[in-house]
Amino acid sequence: MGRFPGRSGAGKIVVCPLRRRTKMDGSGGAGTPVGSDGAERGLATRFADAFPSLASADQELALTLYRSLALGRAVSSARLADVMGRATPEVEHTLAGWPGLFRDESGAVTGFLGLSVGETAHRFEVGGVALYTWCAWDALFLPRLLNATARVVSACPATGTPVHLTIAPHGVLSAHPAGAVVSFLLPDEAELRRHTTASFCRFVHFFASPEAARGWIVRNPGAWLLTLDEAFALGRAVNEARYPDALAPAGP
C-alpha cells in the first residue's frame, strides 16, 4: 500500500455533449477534432471496465467510503462496517480486493480511486473540509459521487496560473480562467488498474488555456485536451457505468 504525497450561462448550467477530443499538433494550429459520440461512450466504458464490476451492495460500500473520506480523515474498516451495518471482516475482505485503495500504517483508508485526505496538487474542498484529488479529472466526477458541491484549487503546470473551479453534482458552475481545459491520456487497461497514479493521473492536469497546454501536449504523445464540460460529461458517463444501481434516480 502507498500514500499520495460550456459553463453556466444566464442562470443555467450547460453541460456540453462529448463529441471530440482535441489534439494540439504543435504547428501553431488550434487543434484537430477527432473521435465521435460513439468513441466517447466507448472511452467511458473502457474506464469502467478497467476496474472490477461491483454488485449493488458493493456500489453502496464504495460510495459510503467516498463520503466517509469526505469528512477529512482516514476511514477504518470497522467504522465503514458500522456505517454500513455490515460485519467488519466482510467489509475488510471486500476492500482487500479493490484496486486504487491507499492506507495508513494502521490500515485505515486514506485514499480511494481519486479522493485523498493526504495533500496533492489539487485541493478539493467540500463542506468546508479540505480534501485532495489524485488528478484534475477526479475533481470533476467526484461531486456526483459525494452528492456535494466542491471548490477546487489547482495550478496550470505550464504557467503556474491558479485555476479555481466550483463543481456541482450536475455540472461546472464556475471556472477561472474561463478557458481552462483538462489534459487527458488513456493508458493500457491493465496499467490503469495496477498503477492508476503512475499510468494515468500524472498526465491529467488543469491548464489555463489550450494555448498554455500546447508545449506539454507536444511533449506527451497520445495526450489530448478536453473542455471542462466535456471532462465532466465523461466522468458522469463513467459514474453511471460503474455505479448504475447506487446512482439510480430515486423513485416517486
Domains of the chain, by residue range, sit at 21-51+115-242, 56-112
Overall average pLDDT of the 227-233 stretch: 95
Look at residue 251 in the predicted model and tell me its pLDDT.
Answer: 44
- Answer whether 158's CB lies under 8 Å from 212's CB: yes
Task: Could you please state the CATH topology (level 3) that the domain comprising 21-51+115-242 is classified under.
Answer: Beta-Lactamase (3.30.450)
HSE-CB at 55 with a 13 A cutoff on CA atoms is 2
Alpha helices in the chain, H assignment, sequence order: 37-49, 56-69, 77-84, 88-96, 138-146, 189-194, 196-199, 210-219, 228-242
Q: What percent of the chain clears pLDDT 90, i.e. is strictly above it? A: 65
The position carrying cell 456535494 is 148
CA gyration radius for the chain?
18
pLDDT band at 196 (very low <50, low <70, confident <90, very high): low
Which CATH architecture group holds 56-112? Answer: Orthogonal Bundle (1.10)
Evaluate if pTM is beyond 0.85: no
Using DSSP bridges, classify how beta strands 181-184 and 162-168 pair: parallel, antiparallel or unpaired. unpaired
Provide the mean pLDDT of the chain: 83
- Answer whether 134's CB lies under 8 Å from 120's CB: yes
Using DSSP bridges, classify how beta strands 32-34 and 21-23 pair: parallel, antiparallel or unpaired. antiparallel
Total Cβ atoms within 10 A of residue 209: 17
